[in-house]
Structure 1
Amino acid sequence: MRVVSLVPSLTEAVALTLPGLLVGATDWCTHPAGLEVTRVGGSKYPDLDRVLALRPDLVLLNVEENRREDADALSAAGVPVRVTYPRTVDEALTELADLLRDLGAPAEPEWLALARRAWADLPAARPARRAVVPVWRRPWVVLGADTFAGDVLRRLGVMNVYADHVERYPRPALDKLRARAPELVVLPDEPYLFTADDGPEAFPGTPCALVSGRHLTWYGPSLAEAPAVLAAQLAAPVVHPG
């Protein structure tokens, strides 16, 4: 089987579990390090001619990572596609197990078993901190309802104050974000690269946790270490004096 992945999380999962199966991946597929496959452009705007030239038996996509029109174009060209859409940690673990089994994995990989244990071992209840979670600025975009990253944070004791918003990724003005009076602002380093010098200054006096976007939003081998990595980052926020 020849597989092209347009989803960084799935690229890592397939490459580590079934080496040699992948023939193509996006320019943003950075894990595992040293992966040698044909690059086919970005997740949002892949070079479909390059994808088709690889003669894939399957292309892996995700509802949030990729565009519907690209999935439709691949299907119209006769290429089977598999579209993932996990919105919780449990859904991600199930989708990964199903995908790898269907691709021919003889057994569940060790990293997936470790991920199951890591999330199952979290305390059932912990004090919740009210947070806003920007994923972009200029304009500001935050996590809203029904997102995978929102469930990750919830299980780590962080309550997204926009979790009940009608949109999955609302775009409130900065003054609206501040008016929510969050106890914490969670700033991932992807898709927007928030840093200590770019992000906390917008929320003077409010603790801002700089976290790994890969561990917050990727659903693959990084899930095994995500609880420990994110818990440490959430416990060490920075405060901009304003």
Structure 2
Amino acid sequence: VPAVTEMLFALGAGHRVVGVSSFDRFPPEVANIQKVGALLDPDLERILSLQPDLVVLYHTQSDLRKQLERAKVPAYAYSHAGLRDVTATLRSVGNRIGIAARAAKLATDIESRIDAIRRVSALGPRPRTLIVFGRENYTLRGIYASGGQGFVHDMVTAAGGQNVFADMKREAVQATTELILARRPEIILELRADPIGLDEEKKELAVWWQLASVPAVANRRVHIIADPRTVIPGPRVVEGIEVIAAAIKRQP
């Protein structure tokens, strides 16, 4: 789980990590740690071969959790339904590995920094913002956007944006172009975990120009943010919010 891996390293416990998901990229040290699959394809045999004292998994991985219970391997299932769950998970993980005080200090620091960003954001306008975290390449088909619940929604709200789908109380909305036209976002933010080249970015931005009547498109306030800090609910979440806030304030 990339988010929890980052937490463990931020807490100075990276040397205790024996296995990570195939999607873990940060910090660089994870490149040398055994990969044990991912959310949908965990490798139980490899996990057990590492003889872990604790396995941290996502709460939806119920089959894996049952298998670990049968093997008598302690497991902790976490969730990140909202921004507050980031620091809650940080504290819980710290408690479970015996560094509760260190985890509490880091969690409190993160919460204080987020509150400071919120106070600054509250002083300015809150533009109607569409937050996209998935679609088919080079087309506006298969758009998935943030609904009014979840980690991404909370980040953008803290950064000063007003989610155009805030009234849809779920984490993800399948957004058609007709729905986007009706919601009339003033800013469109595409969040991506992986880097994107300049030429590819230009091509991906160009597909939005067909929605010329949307204020964000008409005013050229469509931004691709290729930064894992904006999509991983870990200890770098404050930096992610700052990146989003800068994009919201950016003028064409």
Settle same-fold status: TM greater than 0.5: yes
User: Percent identity of the aligned residues?
Assistant: 21
> Does 2:127 match 1:129?
yes
Distance 1:74 1:106, change over 3 A: closer
Indicate the SS of the match to 1:170. strand
Q: Which residue of 2 aligns with 1:69?
A: 63
Over 3 Å counting, the alpha-carbon distance change for 1:135 and 1:192 in structure 2 is farther
Normalising by structure 2, we get a TM-score of: 0.79
More deviation in 97-106 or 198-207? 198-207
For residues 233 and 11 of structure 1, what CA distance do their matches in structure 2 show? 27
Aligned residue for 1:25? 20
Name the counterpart of 1:217: 231
Alignment of 1:37-116 (within 5 A): 37-63=33-59, 67-105=61-99, 107-108=101-102, 112-116=107-111
**In structure 2, what is the Cα distance between the partners aligned to 1:213 and 1:164?**
27
Measured after TM superposition, the shift of residue 13 of structure 1 is 1.0
Q: Tell me whether 142-151 or 116-125 shows the greater mean CA deviation.
A: 116-125
The answer for unaligned runs of 5 or more in structure 1 is 1-6
- Letter of the 2:47 partner, please give it: V
Q: CA deviation at 1:71?
A: 3.1
Structure 2 counterpart of 1:202, from 201, 204, 207? 207
Q: Is the 8 A contact 2:58 2:78 kept in 1?
A: yes
Residue in structure 2 matched with residue 153 of structure 1 by the alignment = 156
What are structure 2's unaligned runs of at least 5 residues?
A: 137-141
Please state how far the C-alpha of 1:223 moved relative to its aligned partner. 2.2
RMSD: 2.6
What CA distance in whole angstroms lies between the structure 2 residues aligned with 1:76 and 1:159? Answer: 46
DSSP-derived class of the 2:84 partner: helix
CA distance in 2, matches of 1:11, 1:67: 17
1:120 aligns with 2:115: yes
User: 3-state SS of the aligned residue for 1:211?
Assistant: strand
Counterpart selection for 2:245 from 231, 236, 241? 231
Q: What SS is found at the alignment partner of 1:98?
A: helix
Aligned partner letter, 1:32: P
In the alignment of these two chains, the number of paired residues is 230
TM-score, normalisation: structure 1? 0.82
Q: Deviations over 1:61-96 (max 9, x none)?
A: 224xx6433333333333222121233323321221
